[in-house]
Structure 1
Amino acid sequence: MQSAPPFTTRPEIAGTFGVATSTHWIASTVGMRILEIGGNAFDAAAAMGFVLQVVEPHLNGPLGDMPVLIWPAGEDSPTVICGQGVAPAAATIAHYRDQGLDRIPGSGLLATVVPGAFDAWMVMLRDHGRLPLADVLEPAIHYARTGHPVLHRVSTEITELADFFRTEWPSSAATWLPGDRPPAPGSLFANPDLADTWERLLAEAGSAQGRTSQIDAARRAFYQGFVADRIDQFVRTACLMDGGGARRRGVLTGQDMADWTASYEQPTSTTYHGWDVWKCGVWSQGPLLLQSLNLLSGLPLDRMNLTGADFTHVVSEAMKLAFADREAYYGDPAHTDIPLAQLLSPAYANQRRTLMTQTASNEQRPGELHGFEAWARAAIARAAQPFDPGETIGSGEPTMAHLGERRGDTCHLDVVDRWGNMVSATPSGGWLQSSPVVPGLGMPLNSRAQMFWLEDGLPSSLAPGRRPRTTLSPSMARDPDGRMLAFGTPGGDQQDQWQLIYLLRLVHGRMGLQSTIDEPLFHIDHAQSSFYPRIANPGALLIEPGFGPMVIDALRDRGHRVDVADAWSLGRLTAASRTTNGQLHAAATPRLMQAYAVGR
């Protein structure tokens, strides 16, 4: 007798024409609309990205950042487009120290780097899309102009910050408090300044001849024209409260924006049980997922219960070692010689695996690589430093990683079209609660500079022109049968943790995309946070109650400091795939009741 299919919270989407999945249902349906009118996955992904900036403004914005993995049809492997902007020319350690800082605040003008998301979308559209830019931006303009139903969490964030906006960030009050009131959950909320910005950009770009020239003209209008001019004027004249508790001026200029462009680069990869897995480079945290796979490749996960204590323990311990290396060695390889090949080598994984025991570690243990020992020692010392940030506003990433009222984080989307093109993107930054709105543009600045350290000589030290080591981390993989997979999640430091667990369950559990997403999740908070105030919580493990009390007790017996999260509260995974015969599948998490997959 044939066994019943596994229970899922919603059907796994399947078809042959196209699939789109994201962290908001409106963005997913917009992506499908773009596919229906003849656009490809690149057009659909960009349209979804711009809509996410409107409907999830507490999670991303046009002045944020975005790494994206693209897999054009017929290519043997994906490519990275880096939309992570760099530190401004005046962003020196000395300048920030002179402001009385020893860590970069999580909000305010000094936390801003060059906004990278817009150019990454434009480069992808220009080189791989099919539709005119006006068609791609039309849905975002519609929702910004006519309004969209406000998410409960957006309303909550604005309500909590309303007084601060009124007194400290008046341009944010003008945008997020229509009629001087926070928008009620479910009410229509519009951002007319944002709609005006996009319409002006289209008008200026429309004077150019041809689709490619118009997209390049839009890039110039953004990075060298009226958008950059507004940002330059605002940052030069504003002195506003930041997460460090003082009013400070920023250092970003229009020239910084004009000097930067998004770029192509090769992804980083490994092979695990016959699966090829691709991530962004060591300027992201993506390689830690690959390091974790290498560590786990020597363990019998095929014989483990994938929601059991043994699985949870070994994955947690592997991630602790990979995170320790992230803190010691990851950074912008264009500025620092980073030993990534050694970190991803089988010999290194074999050596590091010997540190994993049956007892949970409370230590930060980066590997000591020859010639780089000082970096390892510095990472250990930083994690041990106590720090009390005091009262801060809008600090860090609005991540769902911890218990408490504020949950949310970044955004994610995956798209596959009928031709076999595939996109996985994780837009973030420029969210409403971490930076003031630029007057007249309807866009908050980003706060990605908080990931730099104000210490000399480290791969993640603040330096002009350097990319901050971002947590943003889309993923692509190919299984032994040739099926291609795009997946990802928001979540700051948790992104590659939840993605690792998801991928391991796909590999060893051999379940569908949706049923695997529906499995309970966990993550460690052991590692030093990427976000202000940059603290570590040794041994901490947060777990959904779906694992059951026996598993939770067993983990505590092994030394894990376990907190039990609310049910269905961790992760916002989405995924899309294409088999070699052209069948498409997509799935989205039920957590937070926002993400949806659509397709046919």
Structure 2
Amino acid sequence: MTSPRNVFTTRPELSGDFGMVASTHWLASATGMSVLERGGNAFDAAVAAGFVLQVAEPHLNGPAGEVPILLWSEADQRVSTVCGQGVAPAAATIERFAELGLDMVPGTGPLAATVPGAFGGWMLMLERWGTWSLADVLAPAIHYAEHGVPVLERIAATIESVERLFTDEWTTSAAIWLPDGKVPAPGAKLANPALAATYRRVIAEAEAASSTRTGQLEAARRAWYEGFVAEAVADFCAGTAWLDSSGRKHGGLLTGDDLARWSATVEEPATFDYHGYTVCKTGPWGQGPVFLQQLALLSGFDLDGMGWLGADYVHTVTEAAKLAFADREAWYGDADVPMDDLLSEPYNAARRALITDAASLELRPGAPGGRSPRLPVFPEGAATSVSGVGEPTVSRPVPGEQVVSADGGVRGDTCHLDVVDRHGNMVSATPSGGWLQSSPVIAELGFCLGTRAQMFWLQEGLPASLRPGTRPRTTLSPSFALRDGRPWLAFGTPGGDQQDQWSLNFFLALVHGGVNLQEAIDAPMFHSEHFPSSFFPRGSLPGVVQVEDRLDPAVPAELRRRGHEVESQGSWTLGRLSAVARDGDFLKAAANPRGAQGYAAGR
């Protein structure tokens, strides 16, 4: 086993007893910590930081995106899931898309929008577990939207990649993201006064409606889902058509009734016990339980004996991921998913036996409880091998990079934040969607709609088939773990389909590598590209394993000998993890150095 003293770290693991915040952007982490310093709890801090992320990382999330949250309430003594994932519009049917000549939901534009769930998710957590007022938690985001944030290199690069699309087609986006008609330079200030005005109006209407904190939060939700925000969204979808990644112009399907009918919910998490730890994830309406399925498979292997990050270790973890994600493709969705069978030991013992010393090139879903799996019919050229025959033909970039489609549209990524306070409350949240490059800006609101509906299949009879009023099988996947039954770790990462590989690798490093939070984040990362992407156009690369080139050179050499197609990536390119923990007498935190923007703060 690798010794912790041999693991290079870019910064220390933070340790203290007052509070910790870790996220993908320093402004969000500083905001969350400032809330804790001023008497707010972890839930207040997470909400304030979450809204700041919308302004600081607009290429990675936005007001009309979504947010799943896992939290531990010290008062409730339990882990809860807040679902801030909106649903498909009532008019969004497979037949409607067929009438439009589409066999996939476009990756950009208003046709791919679901109900914006992030606002409702944040408000529900704030109302039920927080203590601060709406005005107080929104104040930092309003400040940055009005006065501007420093432009990250990746924001500038994203805007540059869609500059022509904005100027020629999405002119409302150009008005915000091309100030003075130019791509903002890295390091310049970029403001969004229209967004600030939207949030100021929400606060004004809420305070006019009620003098109580709870009443104001209820009124804010009404303003968003039944009032002026919903009206602007409905008018935008019905009254305009915009070029999207299908190469044609479409309007949206969202109506005011769709927004009014939806509300965020609190649910029980899915869980699995592993080596004295209980890992908690969202339900299978998202990909979260695929983390648990990987643990169920790996529980039958001696990872300690293999040696952390050795060839046997990387091979075994990769092959387990292939099996678990194959089940994701066949079984997950906003439907009746047989999770008990998928996590049962008899099922996993049989699945575990499929892992040999050679790399598999097949997509092999299982038959939980004797049910027959059914996979989607993958798009032509998606390079998904069900039989194990065939070579991959579709390449995909390293997750976390921007993906430019033929029409100039760009797929975004995601944010993450974690908070623990001195009372012991903990939050793990993964906001995403509504990227500045997702869809044209709704001018009077200062933000665009999300595109999460691209994760539905336009094929009948699948768990993830498009159906009105259902949630897309999102990739957003916060994580939480208890140790010996007590709250221990809140963690997560951006990365689309890779979230539940990078997060798993981080968790396994803590359990089997004997390292601390920062060492686990900084350790060389790897992941499989074997299974189909959840994003338009749904490609895959059977047998491909991406590894950071800091991995011991003997490991990729041995992986190639076993039949893996190993692709070496830059030293600091895979994963954007952050985490906070309750560890004995101390609170701890760590954040990712990759991308030079994630930070942890605490004392």
| Aligned-residue offset at 1:110 | 1.0
> What does residue 239 of structure 1 align with?
241
Alpha-carbon distance between aligned partners in 2 of 1:102 and 1:519, rounded to the nearest angstrom: 41
Does residue 498 of structure 1 match 2:502?
Answer: yes
The alpha-carbon distance between structure 1 residues 404 and 308, as it changes in their structure 2 partners (threshold 3 A), is: farther
User: SS at 1:271's partner residue?
Assistant: strand
Alpha-carbon distance between aligned partners in 1 of 2:158 and 2:200, rounded to the nearest angstrom: 28
Alpha-carbon distance between aligned partners in 2 of 1:269 and 1:480, rounded to the nearest angstrom: 14
| Aligned-residue offset at 1:306 | 1.4
> What does residue 303 of structure 1 align with?
305
Unaligned runs of 5+ in 1: 389-395
Does residue 461 of structure 1 match 2:461?
Answer: no
Does residue 26 of structure 1 match 2:30?
Answer: no
The aligned amino acid for 1:594 is Q
The alpha-carbon distance between structure 1 residues 246 and 372, as it changes in their structure 2 partners (threshold 3 A), is: farther
Given that residues 122 and 215 in structure 1 are in contact (C-alpha distance below 8 angstroms), is that contact kept between their aligned partners in structure 2?
A: yes
Given that residues 277 and 477 in structure 1 are in contact (C-alpha distance below 8 angstroms), is that contact kept between their aligned partners in structure 2?
A: yes
User: SS at 2:235's partner residue?
Assistant: helix
Alpha-carbon distance between aligned partners in 1 of 2:398 and 2:250, rounded to the nearest angstrom: 22
Alpha-carbon distance between aligned partners in 2 of 1:315 and 1:490, rounded to the nearest angstrom: 20
| Aligned-residue offset at 1:214 | 0.5
- Tell me which of 514, 520, 529 is aligned to 2:518: 514
- Tell me which of 469, 472, 481 is aligned to 2:476: 472
Alpha-carbon distance between aligned partners in 2 of 1:268 and 1:202, rounded to the nearest angstrom: 35
> What does residue 54 of structure 1 align with?
55
The alpha-carbon distance between structure 1 residues 387 and 5, as it changes in their structure 2 partners (threshold 3 A), is: closer
The alpha-carbon distance between structure 1 residues 70 and 444, as it changes in their structure 2 partners (threshold 3 A), is: same
Given that residues 278 and 485 in structure 2 are in contact (C-alpha distance below 8 angstroms), is that contact kept between their aligned partners in structure 1?
A: no
| Equivalent runs, 1:124-203 vs 2, <5 Å | 124-203=125-204
Considering only aligned residues, what root-mean-square deviation do their CA atoms show, in Å?
2.0
Alpha-carbon distance between aligned partners in 1 of 2:72 and 2:514, rounded to the nearest angstrom: 24
> What does residue 326 of structure 2 align with?
324
| Aligned-residue offset at 1:51 | 0.3
Given that residues 426 and 472 in structure 1 are in contact (C-alpha distance below 8 angstroms), is that contact kept between their aligned partners in structure 2?
A: yes
> What does residue 440 of structure 1 align with?
444
Deviations 1:288-335 (A, max 9, x none): 000000000000101122121111100000000000000000001xxx
> What does residue 584 of structure 1 align with?
587
| Aligned-residue offset at 1:481 | 8.1
| Equivalent runs, 1:52-451 vs 2, <5 Å | 52-207=53-208, 208-332=210-334, 336-369=335-368, 372-373=371-372, 376-379=373-376, 382-383=377-378, 385-386=380-381, 399-400=399-400, 409-451=413-455
Does residue 37 of structure 1 match 2:38?
Answer: yes
The aligned amino acid for 1:283 is W
Given that residues 382 and 540 in structure 2 are in contact (C-alpha distance below 8 angstroms), is that contact kept between their aligned partners in structure 1?
A: no
The alpha-carbon distance between structure 1 residues 481 and 217, as it changes in their structure 2 partners (threshold 3 A), is: closer
TM-score, normalised to structure 1, is 0.94
User: SS at 2:293's partner residue?
Assistant: helix
Alpha-carbon distance between aligned partners in 1 of 2:402 and 2:134, rounded to the nearest angstrom: 39
Alpha-carbon distance between aligned partners in 2 of 1:168 and 1:408, rounded to the nearest angstrom: 19
Given that residues 401 and 570 in structure 1 are in contact (C-alpha distance below 8 angstroms), is that contact kept between their aligned partners in structure 2?
A: no
Alpha-carbon distance between aligned partners in 1 of 2:185 and 2:5, rounded to the nearest angstrom: 43
User: SS at 1:233's partner residue?
Assistant: helix
Given that residues 397 and 403 in structure 2 are in contact (C-alpha distance below 8 angstroms), is that contact kept between their aligned partners in structure 1?
A: no
User: SS at 1:316's partner residue?
Assistant: helix
> What does residue 393 of structure 1 align with?
none
The alpha-carbon distance between structure 1 residues 247 and 383, as it changes in their structure 2 partners (threshold 3 A), is: closer
- Tell me which of 480, 489, 501 is aligned to 1:485: 489
Alpha-carbon distance between aligned partners in 2 of 1:492 and 1:176, rounded to the nearest angstrom: 24
Alpha-carbon distance between aligned partners in 1 of 2:97 and 2:264, rounded to the nearest angstrom: 26
User: SS at 1:523's partner residue?
Assistant: strand
Moved more, 398-407 or 138-147: 398-407
| Aligned-residue offset at 1:409 | 1.7
User: SS at 1:227's partner residue?
Assistant: helix
Given that residues 539 and 560 in structure 1 are in contact (C-alpha distance below 8 angstroms), is that contact kept between their aligned partners in structure 2?
A: yes
Given that residues 364 and 383 in structure 1 are in contact (C-alpha distance below 8 angstroms), is that contact kept between their aligned partners in structure 2?
A: no
Given that residues 409 and 491 in structure 1 are in contact (C-alpha distance below 8 angstroms), is that contact kept between their aligned partners in structure 2?
A: yes
| Equivalent runs, 1:515-534 vs 2, <5 Å | 515-534=519-538
| Aligned-residue offset at 1:504 | 0.8
> What does residue 9 of structure 1 align with?
10
Deviations 1:172-211 (A, max 9, x none): 1111111111111000000000000011111111111211
Moved more, 8-17 or 363-372: 363-372
The aligned amino acid for 2:96 is H
Alpha-carbon distance between aligned partners in 1 of 2:23 and 2:150, rounded to the nearest angstrom: 17
| Aligned-residue offset at 1:548 | 2.7
The aligned amino acid for 2:547 is I
The alpha-carbon distance between structure 1 residues 447 and 168, as it changes in their structure 2 partners (threshold 3 A), is: same
The aligned amino acid for 1:562 is V
Alpha-carbon distance between aligned partners in 1 of 2:101 and 2:4, rounded to the nearest angstrom: 65
Moved more, 507-516 or 418-427: 507-516
Q: How many residues are aligned here? A: 584
The aligned amino acid for 2:280 is W
Given that residues 69 and 476 in structure 1 are in contact (C-alpha distance below 8 angstroms), is that contact kept between their aligned partners in structure 2?
A: yes
The alpha-carbon distance between structure 1 residues 4 and 313, as it changes in their structure 2 partners (threshold 3 A), is: closer
Deviations 1:229-279 (A, max 9, x none): 111111101110111110012101111000000001000000001111100
Given that residues 398 and 407 in structure 1 are in contact (C-alpha distance below 8 angstroms), is that contact kept between their aligned partners in structure 2?
A: no
Deviations 1:28-70 (A, max 9, x none): 0000001111110000000000000001000000000110001
| Aligned-residue offset at 1:480 | 3.3
User: SS at 2:229's partner residue?
Assistant: helix
> What does residue 388 of structure 2 align with?
none
Given that residues 20 and 413 in structure 1 are in contact (C-alpha distance below 8 angstroms), is that contact kept between their aligned partners in structure 2?
A: yes
User: SS at 2:78's partner residue?
Assistant: coil
The alpha-carbon distance between structure 1 residues 440 and 383, as it changes in their structure 2 partners (threshold 3 A), is: same
Deviations 1:542-584 (A, max 9, x none): 1100113211111111111111111100000000001354x10
User: SS at 2:48's partner residue?
Assistant: helix
| Aligned-residue offset at 1:403 | 9.8
Given that residues 84 and 117 in structure 2 are in contact (C-alpha distance below 8 angstroms), is that contact kept between their aligned partners in structure 1?
A: yes
Alpha-carbon distance between aligned partners in 1 of 2:506 and 2:17, rounded to the nearest angstrom: 24
The alpha-carbon distance between structure 1 residues 506 and 398, as it changes in their structure 2 partners (threshold 3 A), is: closer
The alpha-carbon distance between structure 1 residues 481 and 17, as it changes in their structure 2 partners (threshold 3 A), is: same
Alpha-carbon distance between aligned partners in 1 of 2:238 and 2:397, rounded to the nearest angstrom: 25
| Aligned-residue offset at 1:483 | 5.4
| Aligned-residue offset at 1:346 | 1.1
Alpha-carbon distance between aligned partners in 1 of 2:551 and 2:398, rounded to the nearest angstrom: 26
Alpha-carbon distance between aligned partners in 2 of 1:397 and 1:243, rounded to the nearest angstrom: 18
Q: What fraction of aligned residue pairs are identical, expressed as a percent?
A: 54
User: SS at 2:351's partner residue?
Assistant: helix
